Amino acid sequence: MTEYRRLALLVSDTERAQEAAADFRDIADWVPMEEAEAAVVLGGDGFMLQTLHAMLDSDRVIPVYGLNVGTVGFLMNRNRNPDTLLTRIGRAKPVTISPLSMQATTQDGTQHRFCAINEVSLLRETRQTAKIEVSVDGKARIKELVCDGVLLATPAGSTAYNLSADGPILPLDSHLLALTPISAFRPRRWKGAILPDRSRVTFRVNEPNKRPVSAVADQKELRDVAEVSLEIAQDSELTLLFDPGHALDERIVAEQFVV
């Protein structure tokens, strides 16, 4: 059992989360994030991703225990009796995940860097289909993928947009990435690939002026990209805390048996 003496409480600005927060205000001596050993996040998956990205941006990463008052809550724990919260946090199972690092170059030559915990997706911006060259570790595997888009997902994100695009679900400890096309027209039979997480994947946009493409790293969008390179940020780790029996790896397995 791990005891976290200094906890921060982070609450989504949704009405539901704000109402639920009233039950948690008096159960602990909450401290600011800069003083905390761990954080309690009250909201949904979107707010959890927002919180994790804020920690990556600040270079101050601490364990996070999520309580779901959102819709899906895949990254969260069930919102139960507030009086048991501190005990639950002490008994929680830590799960470590690493984000994707994205380096993108736009059509004007400007370079941008973002991180993605779930996935990076490339999407056509207009009615014209996108034409994208797909390379893995410097070797072009598909010279021209004609599609609505393509994405690269981590195991933590494999049950999100990736699954909706018919991509594979990846066990959390698999050390794999899911490379998945979105509405591929040609090659029509290509359903994607499963890659080692040490791989470096590069997307190069063909005919970018005629067929503009945007890149979306979780919640951040960059328009008019020319090239996007992706790899796991091995030096960046995030720790999520889950109740026993409700850890993220169990949820990933369970998702494969939903009918």
Q: Looking at the annotation, which residues are catalytic? A: 45
Q: How many CA atoms lie within 13 A of 66 on its CB side?
A: 26
Nearest to 165 by CA among 122, 217, 126, 130: 122
Establish whether 156 is an annotated binding residue. Answer: yes
Nearest to 243 by CA among 91, 37, 97, 96: 91
Provide the token pair at 238.
Answer: 């995030």
Q: How many CA atoms lie within 13 A of 128 on its CB side?
A: 14
Q: How far apart are CA 133 and CA 75, in angstroms?
A: 32
Establish whether 13 is an annotated binding residue. Answer: no
Q: How far apart are CA 9 and CA 15, in angstroms?
A: 16
Establish whether 164 is an annotated binding residue. Answer: yes
Establish whether 148 is an annotated binding residue. Answer: yes
Establish whether 46 is an annotated binding residue. Answer: yes
Provide the token pair at 141.
Answer: 């595997």
Establish whether 184 is an annotated binding residue. Answer: no
Provide the token pair at 81.
Answer: 């009796």
Establish whether 44 is an annotated binding residue. Answer: no
Q: How far apart are CA 248 and CA 228, in angstroms?
A: 28
Establish whether 45 is an annotated binding residue. Answer: yes
Look up residue 251 and give its amino acid: R
Establish whether 119 is an annotated binding residue. Answer: yes
Establish whether 162 is an annotated binding residue. Answer: yes
Task: Extract the annotated binding site for NAD(+).
Answer: 45-46, 118-119, 148, 156, 159-164
Task: Extract the annotated binding site.
Answer: 45-46, 118-119, 148, 156, 159-164
